[in-house]
Structure 1
């Protein structure tokens, strides 16, 4: 074999951003599901409810204050999650850990407020079309939030193991990207289903 034509041997170098790209593609798929859910909700509302009428049943009271407070809590958790990525890129372990701890605390509060709001509304599945569609969209959102917290938790353990720095922070960055997506998904679903009605 001609030595000039031989390929270099050595460890295979992979891009640390592969996980971020894969997470972005997964976010695209989840966003399409949300767009489909909200599109179906709006099309059914336009077919069933007369223009200008309230489609929400009279026995359902929507707790707007709790839903807005949950949105503010979600935004704060998004900021603290981004802070942990910023600290991780710069090898600031203490800031990374505090940012992740505060993100989990705010994320649990965010999920708690959403569940409290659902319990306050007394939505019963099968009671009507609005209840079914609202519970489906909100249930999907709750599943996304729980999945995002699990993903963030797993990537946090990698950070606890010392996976920090410009190259090592990509897994945490991908989990935070998914967390940001759940905050945007919350805003879209709450706006369409509970505010615009």
Structure 2
């Protein structure tokens, strides 16, 4: 009797590695924009010019965005942990709740945009405001798409306790998105 050839070895965690690369690329791009923003702001303040008009940026709505994102970090990791126990119901619930938090963040960002009333051509500070927060919004939309695709795949039964790499990749990208907003929140909204 002849033995069957061994199956090709599995490449473990390729989805997680891909998620790390996407998260790192997004992070580096936003950090570059943030560094440029901080350098231009320092130049403007050193020259004695106002950067952001006093009272034009409130701390309340951006703070609510931050707290909503912090809650969403808990729910996205709840989804990973629940799938690790083969608890599909709670994993689906956690992913849906994460998506809801993400949609709430987009709604809050829209409120911030309408509240500040900046014009893109209103000056360098206002342009940088839209570039930085817009980069975050793009990352947030990408993270929401990842959560939606992961939820659909999970509902289709593609994940188990042993096969949840896409959940981890989604959680990693979500975490980086939240961290990026934390940096933007501090640099743009707190220190102005």
TM-score by length of structure 2 reads 0.92
SS of the equivalent of 2:34 reads helix
Shift of 1:140: 0.7
The change in CA–CA distance for 1:133 and 1:176 in structure 2 (over 3 A counts) is: same
SS of the equivalent of 1:49 reads helix
Q: Provide, for residues 82-129 of structure 1, a one-character-per-residue CA deviation record: whole Å limited to 9, x for no partner.
A: 001100111101111111111111111111111211110011101100
What RMSD over aligned residues (CA atoms) do the two structures have, in Å? 1.9
In 1, Cα distance between equivalents of 2:94 and 2:66: 19
**Is 1:91 matched up with 2:83?**
no
SS of the equivalent of 1:57 reads coil
**Is 1:67 matched up with 2:54?**
no
**2:182 matched residue in structure 1:** 187
Q: Provide, for residues 27-57 of structure 1, a one-character-per-residue CA deviation record: whole Å limited to 9, x for no partner.
A: 1111111111011001111111238875202
Query: Which of 1 and 2 has greater Rg?
Result: 1
Gap regions ≥5 residues in structure 2: none
Q: Which runs of 4+ in 1 moved over 4 A?
A: 51-54
1:71-150 alignment runs, 5 A limit: 71-150=66-145
**1:171 matched residue in structure 2:** 166
The change in CA–CA distance for 1:131 and 1:195 in structure 2 (over 3 A counts) is: same
In 2, Cα distance between equivalents of 1:86 and 1:158: 17
In 2, Cα distance between equivalents of 1:67 and 1:135: 14
Query: Could you tell which deviates more after superposition, 12-21 or 67-76?
Result: 12-21
**1:156 matched residue in structure 2:** 151
- 8 Å contact kept, 2:44–2:50: no
